[in-house]
Structure 1
């Protein structure tokens, strides 16, 4: 098996592939371009997209060139894959802003120094906005049958559940296939990678390229990554794990990885870090907490840099010391007006986003799990007063042993 595909498989990235043997031979003999598409429905990607980013990094590692397709056009439609209802349609200004923000994230993860492997960024709105509907139906639409389109899960499941599927969404798979054709023609792109829910769309693209231009292209999919609990990767009780420090602090990002379940640690070291597989094999029997810190440091360094990773580790250590105020903790701000209006401990915790359920907060308080400045708060109606803040006008708010923020009075 080709070296790229071998590592792709051993790291746990592999799910399905079209013409695997032919692709392996191609990769042995050539350096190719491969792409992954990302819809820009939010101002940032979250951890749920990290596996796809790691696939692009692996392409670079093996000398291939990644193409990042930012779906300025398809975001205007909405991908029905894995969805049980139509996405909200974003306005064009919001989509363009999202594209710029997401592009910055990729520039953090991908190496741009080597001209042969530096990422190529494309926006499919550039070609989709120019399509003539009649010409598109005659030249591209003729290659798709309704019978086959209805057989794909993204369509079939919605119809079986009697959930509405708009004609706009129904066209999404044709547009994604056309993206692959466009990149094959203009960029000589031979490979599309995507999540397992994209298999039907990717196969459509491979087939369209073969029928339209008689070129051979390939598709490769990754599995859905779940936690040992069975939960989907990417979100926690507190919300999405964003890949943008404006939306999630480096410390909170570090803590997400530090809090990985014991059963997931080795799997996540393989999937979400660049550490060599032989090295993981050597250290797999180390103390599990050491491995968790290694995972947290490597993942945080990749996104936020070595300095933030080390600061997060040091902050975590200090925060567990009873007298520490945790100088590197994420900060939330409240003003004097909120103090005067008698904000209580429950509403402060909701404001901090450490926990959003008031009933759950009451349960934690009753179990002595809430602290202010390392002192237990056991009263649900406890009021936040000025004397709780130090000379720097801050206090430390803690839920349990692992969730902490600094509250700053402005």
Structure 2
């Protein structure tokens, strides 16, 4: 399947400036495509994966991708899709963010060899541009009427927040990036999310005016749920690609819990599984949605892509633990992530000293039983567990040797009723 047909089947072409011309261009030989990423944080998040995977798909089809980190445009912030002006970042924070995003890009794209991907920062060519030079060389090629007609500008002008001159200028900067990359790198294609259509077409128009060149634009739909909400966000915040911000387990669980109405679209949009496997998963969703086979495939594929084999193994092991797998050699942080919604109690570490803490008392302290008698009956009936190991002795004493991590015991009653005891 050729690239454009594959993108079409996956539903990844929302808009294209010249579909026939783009098809002919790609058929003529290897091309260069770029997508910009403004470094608003030190890590990319799930919402960025649509564009990261777009670059990856082009590279796997034999083309050269450019991941452009917006060290310059990030100083302003893109108004597209925003209801109010962004907070401006300090130069120091922006530099950290650029470094973080650049490091993550290397996980997804191949930067080796003469045709390897390029990782560029637009601050490199914007740093020495004086204000007057930019107005003379670039600004004069921008009809204000055209800019005012762009949806990203018009919607903000009509909003209560309005639009500052700083954000109004963002379109010029992004448009000039396209011109610079066309001139210096032979880049004739820019892609992005559907909210970038105005900026992309502005770059195409600027390329025609400044270079006399035909450039091409391509947008993908935004990653949203079936009811229109942006994906990649939870009550705890964004789902990041950095393991320091979102653990492999939490990342894996996010995809495991994707709704049936959304999982097939995610498989098309974000993975590289082929049409045959997709059709099989689609049939399984229709015939037996309770098995969640598609969600398991999505979670495994995405976690392996972002966190590697080790991260996937860790996430799957943590999932097994939540459903009764034996617990050992974990950290407080890992246990905290696995059992984030489980009630916990803090006790003095001294209670684990000497003869230790009576397991019956531990069950009561954790709130799993209301009395010593109930705790004894639970143990006798085989329904009490410490670190997912069944308690068989009602006189057992718990010591520091029984801790599942640095300070935590995991207690369970029955199949699913968990509680944590933290010894401080």
Q: What does residue 13 of structure 1 align with?
A: 12
Matched, 1:277 2:284: no
Show structure 2 runs of 5+ residues with no match. 337-341, 347-362, 371-397
Deviation for aligned residue 1:136: 1.7
Q: Pick the aligned partner of 2:333 from 324, 331, 334.
A: 331
Say if 1:328 and 1:29 are closer, same or farther in 2 by CA, change over 3 A.
farther
Q: Pick the aligned partner of 2:316 from 305, 313, 316.
A: 313
Q: What does residue 63 of structure 2 align with?
A: 64
Q: Which moved more, 1:218-227 or 1:308-317?
A: 308-317
Superposed CA RMSD in Å reads: 3.1
CA contact (8 A) 1:373 1:396 kept: no
Q: What does residue 200 of structure 2 align with?
A: 202
Deviation for aligned residue 1:320: 1.1
- Partner-residue secondary structure (3-state), 1:331: helix
Measured in 2, the distance between the counterparts of 1:45 and 1:406 equals: 32
Measured in 2, the distance between the counterparts of 1:403 and 1:71 equals: 48
Measured in 2, the distance between the counterparts of 1:55 and 1:266 equals: 18
**Superposition map of 1:6-405 within 5 A:** 6-113=5-112, 115-116=114-115, 118-286=116-284, 287-288=288-289, 289-321=292-324, 324-325=326-327, 331=333, 376=368, 390-391=402-403, 392=405, 393-396=407-410
CA contact (8 A) 2:344 2:421 kept: no
Q: Residue deviations 1:79-133, cap 9 Å, x none? A: 11111111111111111111111111111111234542x2101110111121122
CA contact (8 A) 1:269 1:275 kept: yes
Q: What does residue 389 of structure 2 align with?
A: none
- Partner-residue secondary structure (3-state), 1:72: coil
- Partner-residue secondary structure (3-state), 2:208: helix
Measured in 1, the distance between the counterparts of 2:46 and 2:95 equals: 21
Measured in 1, the distance between the counterparts of 2:28 and 2:76 equals: 38
TM-score normalised by length of structure 1: 0.81
Show structure 1 runs of 5+ residues with no match. 335-343, 349-370, 379-386
CA contact (8 A) 1:318 1:326 kept: no
- Partner-residue secondary structure (3-state), 1:121: strand
Deviation for aligned residue 1:375: 6.6
Say if 1:121 and 1:40 are closer, same or farther in 2 by CA, change over 3 A.
same
CA contact (8 A) 1:33 1:188 kept: yes
Say if 1:284 and 1:135 are closer, same or farther in 2 by CA, change over 3 A.
same
- Partner-residue secondary structure (3-state), 2:283: coil
Measured in 2, the distance between the counterparts of 1:388 and 1:230 equals: 51
Q: What does residue 367 of structure 1 align with?
A: none
Measured in 2, the distance between the counterparts of 1:205 and 1:372 equals: 67
Q: What does residue 338 of structure 1 align with?
A: none
Deviation for aligned residue 1:372: 11
**Larger Rg computed on CA atoms:** 2
